[in-house]
Amino acid sequence: MNFRFLALVITLLLGISAWGQTIRGLVKAEGEPLPYATLQWSGSKGLAADSLGRFVLDATELKELTITVSALGYKSQQVKIPATNKLSRLWVISLSPTSEQLNEVVVSGTLSPRSKSESAVAVERYEASFFKSNPTNNLLEAMGQINGLRPQINCGVCYTGDLRINGLDGPYTMVLIDGTPIVSGLGTVYGFSGIPTGLIERVEVIKGPASTLYGSEAVAGMINIITQSPAKKPAFTADIWGSTWLEKNADLGMGYRLSPKIKALSGINLYHYGSPKDQNGDGFMDVPLQSRFSAFQKFDWERNRGRSASIAGRWVMEDRLGGQMNYRREFRGGDSVYGEQISTRRWELLGHYDLPVNQKMRLTYSLNSHEQNSMYGTSPYVASQYIGFLQATWDKSLGSKSKWLNGLAYRFSWYDDNTPATQTADGSRRNLPASTPLPGFFSQYEWRPGSQNTLLAGIRWDQHPVHGQIFSPRLNYKLSSKDQRSSLRLALGNGFRVANVFTEDHAALSGARRVVFTENLRPEQSYNLTLNASHGIFHFSDFNLLMDASAFITHFSNRILPDYDTDPNLIIYSNLNGFARSQGVSANIDADFVNGLDIKLGATLMDVSVFEEGTRRRQPFTEQFSAVWTIGYRLPTTKLRIDYTGTLYSPMRLPLLGELDPRSDHSPWWSIQNLQINYLHSEAIEFYVSIKNLLNWTPAQRTPFLIARANDPFDRQVETDAQGRILATAANPYALSFDPTNVYAPNQGIRALIGIRLKLSKGK
């Protein structure tokens, strides 16, 4: 018995001694364990962390040890372990992502996960960290840092906006959340508000028609906002900031487990701005007052045989109020003080369910409701919209070289408002809500004859109740180098869109002009050709560099364009008697250096023009050149990081209200630049200070006025002749009427912003 006890003591002592001669550690990335990271020291010695990011090193030699830790897609890091500290702690080494994107997964190009390097479709991917370099209160503004995308302000009073891809209007862009169409119709104006940026895992962007997979509205391109997986979300996150304009914003999020197989993600966004400013002195608020509340909830189920299910919901309430400085809610609808007040209530339900069959089949669904109660001066606009979407896909592998994707889709939209758009045409003005079923079928074949070639071909058929059968084909080809670091992609595609002017164009809702339709509008069609080349240079010990360039041309038929020029009192809508064309080139450079410097640069040169009756004219509100940049640098041996972001735009054509309008018909060159300093106090706490719009640039600096007749918003002093043409008088020397639509850029000057980010990791 004594012998056994002595043996046990000796064994324990040997175990303790052995443990004391080791270095134990954990490799993490973005707060989570990073599996299979590589650790190297003393030249050739090394090992790999296990599947949970853990490692154990033999420490029989007690001199100082320098370890280089690296992993594909993350910045390498050197860690010095002093001899005296080897045995006293668990070493936790955190790696940060790099721009090495060869193995990044994208889903938007083919509806199934693909390595970005293998995808035949050129998909741009932007991580959540990209948007932290320039914090904003809405996703619309944040997307302006992506090359070729520009947020457009459509109204100088209520600040409605949309997001343009390569110069094409917002309604031509389809916006998805987790792969389901959510932001559309009325949502193209207000739907970007209230998407909590703190819950976004990444954003994927496709430039060019994507109607073969996504149907109507994917004419200019597609933006897929992918929310975080509950399994990866920290236990609690918060991003809270306030500005010198007295804006207040909070993004809160939680990731937690309800059961061994059910994980949940919750998020809340709060934004409030209630201090009106009039820095340009026109008597109108520079930015409307806003209050917004958004709640997001998501559940993920782990099911047998690798299947999954997900359901998510979002609720958004927003009130915005703009107009003259003395406008208050009690003046709503009256003609004593001009203002525009918009109340929106929106809910969304979306998710997917993998069918319990041997084949890879999935149901994707979404349902959303948008209620809007607005007043534009004395013109009320009350609208309701419901959109339901159901899609079944079958992803079939045909051997090792080919895949076949088939899908059935059904989209139903219901829309009603108080305008003539939903009244009968027999003169009785009876209410007739628009009810539009849109069934469709698509099939896509992907063939990889070798590791360097991929061919993707697809076709879609939709049956519209008014426009009949609509076909949308696509063809994509990718040629890559043997190491997959260089690739050439060719894309041919078709897009279509059925327009609803009253839900998409704020100018049609404003009381400033009367809307006229000269014909029954036909669906727009687009045909696109894009050539994309990319090349990556990766030296993990020094830098990573990724470059890509694209040339594109999109041809439109049946283009629906608003005519602001024929009559200053009218907006005339008709199908274009001719064609429109968007063409150009773009380039991106993404570089990360081991010294902590990372640079993202992008530029686009394009021409968006309309060809009609032998004449060519540039589309209004469309720049010919744009550039974006994000430059970040982490100061060595400190916890400070500096981010410098900016955008630059060339002049764009602006619509005028008549020959006497004193404003320029083109905007100047303009740039919005921002600076942010981050202090990483710990892995859980981060402080930051931002200076927004460093140059204090606003469009009011280069024009006699932004809003026409801001001193007479109800046109009381406007005189017209017998034909309704506005006359130049002493009270109205420029022969103008009230109009707030000549706006092309934000009207918010320089301001400081201070914030804090908190992150609490889940217990292990």
672-720 tens-digit pLDDT: 999 999 998 888 899 999 999 999 999 888 788 989 999 999 999 999 9
127-165 tens-digit pLDDT: 888 888 998 888 888 888 999 999 888 788 888 777 888
Rounded distance, CA 228 to CA 264, Å? 10
What values do phi and psi take at 92, rounded to 5? -110, 120
Of the two residues 231 and 705, the one the predictor is more confident about is: 705
Domain segments of the chain as ranges: 2-95, 225-760
Using CB atoms within 10 A of its CB, is residue 538 exposed (0-12), middle (13-18) or buried (19+)?
middle
Amino acid 15: pLDDT: 43
Rounded distance, CA 162 to CA 504, Å? 9
Residue 494 parent element (H or E): strand 486-497
Amino acid at 150: R
Amino acid 7: pLDDT: 46
Contact 296, 312 (CB under 8 A): yes
- Is pTM beyond 0.75? Reply is yes
3-state SS class at 78: strand
Rounded distance, CA 698 to CA 279, Å? 10
Amino acid 689: pLDDT: 97
Per CATH, domain 225-760 is 2.40.170.20 = yes
420-479 tens-digit pLDDT: 667 665 556 678 888 889 899 999 999 998 888 999 999 999 888 877 788 888 899 999
Phi-psi region at 756: left, alpha or beta (left = phi > 0; alpha = psi -120 to 50): beta
CATH superfamily of 2-95: Immunoglobulins (2.60.40.10)
The segment with the largest mean pLDDT, out of 213-227, 383-397, 508-522, 606-620, is 383-397
Of the two residues 486 and 25, the one the predictor is more confident about is: 486
Amino acid 715: pLDDT: 93
Amino acid 399: pLDDT: 83
Fold agreement between 2-95 and 225-760: no
Rounded distance, CA 137 to CA 690, Å? 13
Query: Residue 87: pLDDT above 70?
Result: no
Residue 484 pLDDT class (50, 70, 90 cuts): confident
Q: Match 């966004």 to its residue by tokens.
A: 269
User: How many helical (H) and strand (E) elements, i.e. helices and strands, does the chain have?
Assistant: 7, 43
Residue 743 pLDDT class (50, 70, 90 cuts): confident
**First vs last C-alpha separation in the chain:** 39
Query: Residue 179: pLDDT above 80?
Result: yes
Pairing of strands 360-376, 379-397: antiparallel
For residue 477, which of 441, 442, 452, 494 has the smallest C-alpha distance?
A: 452
> Mean per-residue pLDDT for 305-311?
89
For residue 443, which of 454, 455, 459, 456 has the smallest C-alpha distance?
A: 459
Q: Write the DSSP symbol of residue 523.
A: P
